[in-house]
Amino acid sequence: MCRTKYENLEEANFNERIKQILSFFKEEEIEKIKSHRKIDNYEHPLKNIIIYDESKTSSNIADDKSSIIYKTNWAFEVVQRIDPDWLRAKKSDLLDDDYSIVSSVLGGIRAYAEIKTRLYRELFNDTSQLVSIPTSKNPTPDFRLSDTDYYQKKYVVDFEVFTKTHDKESQKGIDLGTTVTKINGGRNKITTRVSSHRPFSFEKRPLEKNKHASDLRHIIHLFTQVKAKDKQFSDENINVLWIDMQDEAIFHYSSFLSFASPTVIRDGSFISSTLWHAFYGQIEMIILHEFFQGEHNTYLTSKLEHDGRFYLSENKADFVVFVFPRKTIVFEKPDNDKVIPERFRDTLTYLLNFNSVESRIDFPKGNLSQALKNDVESLEILYKYLKERDEWEE
């Protein structure tokens, strides 16, 4: 099919947008990336960024995907400049056939660039130092930042990066929740997926044994357990869990996931939010799953079976950073015995697309406890109101 001059120009403009990524690879490596086929309906993570697609440059462009392309190209430029050896060492993983490995490396590159440009203050303080930590047999964080507070007292921050991807185990869960109905004598079929939260799949327990069990509670549990053993973190340093939510399998769901409030409104009903409950929820707290309208409006509910991450005794994470395509949310551990310098909290607000309204950090001092108190009180008021207005099934 003959392409128009306009289409050729659009592709040239697109390639200009990703020139830092393209320049990092040899021509034959680019061709290898482009040759990858979809797995479980998802493109190779790097191919999804570098391959020209008219939808990426048209007026109907998805803003999330456009942001990911821009930030990834920018990150390659930054890391190539500050630590080219580290980036070169990642090339083999970027060319790997395992898509989850590629996604993980891309998340690490984006995190490295942002930590360097947003949190590392070498222009203002020559005592600052940022290093990438080589992989070893013993668990180590990915990056370590050393700085001084407003009183010239040194502090150290360890960053552990995690990229949520679509994995094979999640696909198994999705397949288990898929039903196929044949019609017209088997000539046609209707495929129905009962999950609305792909790619996280379902709870392991059989749904028939707990008819109100839902994948929402499973998602909350998954986020609570991200790097839960915390072997990369120490008791002395400030520990930051950095969760990159920009994999193709994830960002389509960012409108549902990227909320820091205890509940979100979807299709006119209240649904418990994932992130807040995963980190600030407490055992026996009510979870709002689904809402059905009929003769009687009915909420399906259950109770949280575990405390949120920050309340678990084994937790060592002091902060968690959620990086979405166009939003960054920061959660801080409440009632922390560790002394957190005000300078570091101040620095966190400089993260790209930092959302001050949805983040939960103790800045200014005392803000976090009050915000969480308001969150819990708002939940109690909402539960009381909904119970009076609608029917509940627990």
Confidence of residue 51 (pLDDT cuts 50, 70, 90): confident
Total count of domains within the chain: 2
Summarize pLDDT for 60-103 with one digit per residue, the tens. Answer: 346 778 888 999 999 999 999 999 999 999 999 999 988 889 99
Residue with tokens 């290898």: 32
Give the pLDDT score at 110.
97
* pLDDT, average across residues 342-348: 91
> Mapping DSSP to helix (H, G, I), strand (E, B) and coil, where does residue 298 land?
strand
Summarize pLDDT for 147-203 with one digit per residue, the tens. Answer: 887 778 889 999 999 987 644 544 444 343 434 444 445 444 443 333 333 334 334
Domain presence at residue 174: no
* Angle of CA points 7, 13, 19, to nearest 5°: 135
Which of 103, 119, 135 is the C-terminal boundary of a domain?
Answer: 119
The answer to whether 243 and 270 are in contact (CB under 8 A) is: no
- Kindly state whether residues 251 and 382 are assigned to the same domain: yes
Which of 100, 119, 138 is the C-terminal boundary of a domain?
Answer: 119
204 vs 86, residue with greater confidence:
86
Domain presence at residue 130: no
Q: How many residues does the chain have?
A: 394
Q: Which domain holds residue 255?
A: 223-235+244-393
Summarize pLDDT for 205-258 with one digit per residue, the tens. Answer: 433 334 444 567 878 888 898 888 878 899 999 999 999 988 866 655 555 676
* Angle of CA points 284, 388, 269, to nearest 5°: 75
Which one-letter amino acid corresponds to residue 159? F
Which of 84, 101, 119 is the C-terminal boundary of a domain?
Answer: 119
